[in-house]
Each structure stands twice: as C-alpha cells, then as structure tokens.
Structure 1
Amino acid sequence: MDLFDRLRAARPDDWRAYVAHPFVEGLGSGTLPAAAFQSYLVQDYLFLVQFARAYALAVYKGRTLEDMRAAHAGLKAILDVEMDLHVRLCGRWGLSPRDLERTPEARATTAYTRYVLDTGLRGDLLDLHVALAPCVVGYAEIAAALAARPGALSESNPYREWIAEYAGEPYREVAVAARATLDRLAARAMTEARFEDLASIFGQASRLEADFWSQGLEVLGG
C-alpha cells in the first residue's frame, strides 16, 4: 500500500463517513435537492480560495524545486480548473464571481480550511499534504465511483457535469500526483512512530469533509 492507502485503512470510519455521505449518494442518483447543491457549491468556492492559500504555503515550505513544483501544480489545478467549474455552474443561477466572493463563509467551511492551514503552519510539508489529501484524492475517488453507476452521467442527472469534471482524466492526474507526493515526502520525513500522528491528521480532515457535506444539507433544515 502507498501512504494514502495506509492512512485510509487506519481511519476507515472517518473515511466512510466522508465518501458514503448522503450528500454524495444524492449526487450519484441525481436526487440531491438543488438548493443543497447550490449552497454547497458557493461554500466550496470559498473553500477553494483557502485551499489555494494552503498550496501557496506548500510552495513556501518546499525544501526542493520538486516540492515547489508539486505544490504549484495543485495550486494551478484549483485556480484554473476547479474554480472555473464553480464559476460556470454558479453563473447559471445568476451568481457572479463577485457574488461568490462576498458570501460569508459558513462554519464548516472555516473549520475545515483553517484546520488545514493551521496544520501546515505548525507542521512540516508532509503534515500539510496529509491534511490536503482527503479532499484532493477523495474527490477523484468519489467521482469515479459515482461515474461508474448506471445513469449517473445521463442527461437526467443534474449533477453529471460535477461528476464528470472530477472523474475526468485531468483531475485524476491531479489525484495521482498528490498520492505520489505523499510517498515522496514520506520517504524523506516519515518514521513508523510518526505514522499515528499523520493518521490523526488524515482522520480529522476526513471528518471535516463529512461535516462540509452535511453543511450543504443544512439549508434543507435537516
């Protein structure tokens, strides 16, 4: 197993709460209420702003050009791919980028993103990339699993564009690169005694991901 698989195996309940969340199930079946998805997507735009800062921190904390290039690739994927998807989808509801940027962050957005940034500030580059991993790799795995379901990418599913974006080859390559970065950093900086600390970071980030999905459903009053 690579480091990502080891971390996931060490925190199976936290991971399952994230990837098998009712919000995710609703994306795949197309039954997620539109209001929940719209609320989520606006907050996810704000989330990505903070994750871009986390990748900029990773550039700063890089010890080698390879470290810095890996972090820059993650930053570029956010700024040039993910945020474009959010702006495009939100524009269909009449929301401009300025509207998105002026929306207040919800509590789960702040809690998750600041946890990642705090982890990176007080820890090293490996700590930071482990905190980022559930989001970066998880979205690719979630979307790939959803895309494999009958009808998930059909015209009848209003969330097919989101699924296709994260299941597509460009984003899959981002996730593969993120896993490779984890292994490279672990070869340099991880001991077995340290693994449990990294697993705790991974588990907390996964729980915060689950909370972020739940936040999208709060608009429904449930």
Structure 2
Amino acid sequence: MDMAAPRWETEFGMPGGLFRRLRAAAADAWSGYTWHPFVQGLSDGTLPLPSFRTYLIQDYLFLIHFARAKALAVVKGESLQAMREKAFAVLAILDETKLHLKYCAGWGLSEGDVIATPESAETVSYTRWVLDRGLHGDILDLEIALAPCTVGYGEVALRILADPARRGEDNAYQSWIDTYAAEDYQTLARSAAARIDALGVSHGGEARFARLAADFAEAARLEQRFWQQGLDSNR
C-alpha cells in the first residue's frame, strides 16, 4: 500500500502547477533549507540560545529589505489589484518589524542592540540578490525570489509538527513554532504558492522554467546559509 505523501508536500501549490514543479526541481536545496539542522534544533529544543538570538537580529534586518522587495512588487505588479495587495503587504511587514523588536526583547535583546548590529554577509547576499532579481526581471522573477521565504516557513512549521523528535513541552522555541504553524500564516503561505502557479500561467512560466528553477534553488540555498549563520555564531 502506498503511503500518503507528507502534508508539507501537498499543502502548497496545485498538482502540476509551477510552484510544485520548482520545488521538485530544487529538491535537495529545498530539503536542506526546510529541514536544516537549525530547524531541527528548533523542533527538539536543542538549538543553542545564542544561535537563536543571532538569527532574530538578522531576521529583523532581513525584514527591512523584504519590505523594500514587496514595495518593488507594487511597481512590477501586473494589475491594479495586484498593486493594492502588495501595498498592503508592505504595510504588514513594516508593522511586523515593530512586533519583531518586542519579540526580541523577550529574548534579552534591546531595540538598541538589534538596530546597532551590522547586517551579516549572509543577510546582505540574500536580500540584495532578491532585489536584483526584481529590478532586472518582471513580477514573476521577483515573486520566485520571494516565495521560498514565505512558503518555506510554512513548510518548516509543518515539518516540525510532524517530527517524532519534536519537544512539545518546555520547548523554548514553541512560540516561534506556533507563529508559523498558525492558520493565518499557513493561509499566507498557501496564497504565495498559488500566486506562483497563477503567474506561471499568465507570464510564460513554462518557457522560462530553467531560469526560474535556478532562481528558486538559489533562494533555497541562501535560506540555508541564513540558518547556518546562527549555528556558526555559537562556535
């Protein structure tokens, strides 16, 4: 009897759609991102606290540029409705930066500490690459660069929930897990994958698949390095 596919393999995107095709083409890089040792440490609670604090600071700095990339999506938007949706997303991310600073405070990181920290090489390389893809491409190129972050965190949460080694009680990282496992975030991740599928149809994704797949895989590798910097900071 065939075993049912894990939920994270079927939750995002449509069968035969562009998102799932990109995910399959980047299988090794994608798995290395969504089940990175950093993620496994979140799941079983063994991630060193200094590693998580490093991640939190750089994630705040990442959010600033993520908002800029979403603002670029307003410029690149294919319709007035798309522009409105992206403008709303920019405001949501800017509001999230305030919440992120409050969350950091709960981990002993003051706003001054966070803001005074320079961007790491990993943060710079990832965020500027995303902006470069958007500046030099169209809305599909930009959304392909953005989607691995949004959808990937949704998959990370589902993988953690299904992890036999998951520490469900007294896990310091449970609040982080809950954020991305929550239905509102899962809905956001599903919407991001569905947008890739729709743009794939309207913007010639089939003819451009090789380049889009390369970009998708590169984004997954950059996400891997973003996790890894947290682990490296504790060595």
Answer yes or no: same fold by TM over 0.5.
yes
Corresponding residue to 2:219 among 180, 201, 205: 205
Corresponding residue to 1:91 among 91, 94, 105: 105
Q: Report the counterpart of residue 129 of structure 2 in structure 1.
A: 115
Q: Retained in 2: the 8 A contact 1:140–1:172?
A: yes
In the alignment, structure 1 residue 188 sits paired with structure 2 residue 202: yes
Q: Which runs of 5+ in 1 are unaligned?
A: none
| Deviation of 1:95 (Å) | 2.6
Q: Report the counterpart of residue 150 of structure 2 in structure 1.
A: 136
In the alignment, structure 1 residue 21 sits paired with structure 2 residue 39: no
Hey, what's the Cα distance between the residues in 2 that align with 1:167 and 1:77?
18
What letter matches 1:177 in structure 2? S
| Deviation of 1:120 (Å) | 0.3
Hey, what's the Cα distance between the residues in 1 that align with 2:194 and 2:27?
21
Q: Report the counterpart of residue 79 of structure 1 in structure 2.
A: 94
Q: Report the counterpart of residue 119 of structure 2 in structure 1.
A: 105
Q: Retained in 1: the 8 A contact 2:133–2:142?
A: yes
Q: Retained in 2: the 8 A contact 1:153–1:164?
A: no
What letter matches 2:66 in structure 1? F
* SS of equivalent to 1:192: coil
Hey, what's the Cα distance between the residues in 2 that align with 1:23 and 1:58?
30
How has the CA–CA distance of structure 1 residues 107 and 157 changed in structure 2, closer, same or farther, with 3 Å as cutoff? Answer: same
Residues 140-184 of structure 1, C-alpha deviation per residue, up to 9 Å, x if partnerless?
A: 110122133468473410000000001101111211121122122
Instruction: Give the RMSD, CA atoms, in angstroms.
Output: 1.7
* SS of equivalent to 2:118: coil
Corresponding residue to 1:31 among 23, 33, 46: 46
What letter matches 1:79 in structure 2? L
Identity level (%): 51
Hey, what's the Cα distance between the residues in 2 that align with 1:68 and 1:97?
32
* Worse-matched range after superposition: 57-66 or 22-31: 57-66
Hey, what's the Cα distance between the residues in 2 that align with 1:142 and 1:74?
21
Hey, what's the Cα distance between the residues in 2 that align with 1:38 and 1:121?
32
Q: Which TM-score applies when normalising by structure 2?
A: 0.87
| Deviation of 1:80 (Å) | 3.1
Q: Report the counterpart of residue 184 of structure 2 in structure 1.
A: 170
* Worse-matched range after superposition: 6-15 or 88-97: 88-97
Q: Report the counterpart of residue 7 of structure 2 in structure 1.
A: none
| Deviation of 1:215 (Å) | 0.6
Q: Report the counterpart of residue 232 of structure 2 in structure 1.
A: 218
How has the CA–CA distance of structure 1 residues 140 and 132 changed in structure 2, closer, same or farther, with 3 Å as cutoff? Answer: same
Q: Retained in 2: the 8 A contact 1:7–1:202?
A: yes
Q: Report the counterpart of residue 64 of structure 2 in structure 1.
A: 49
| Deviation of 1:70 (Å) | 3.1
**Count of residues in correspondence between the two structures:** 220
User: Which protein has the bigger helix share?
Assistant: 1
* SS of equivalent to 1:42: helix
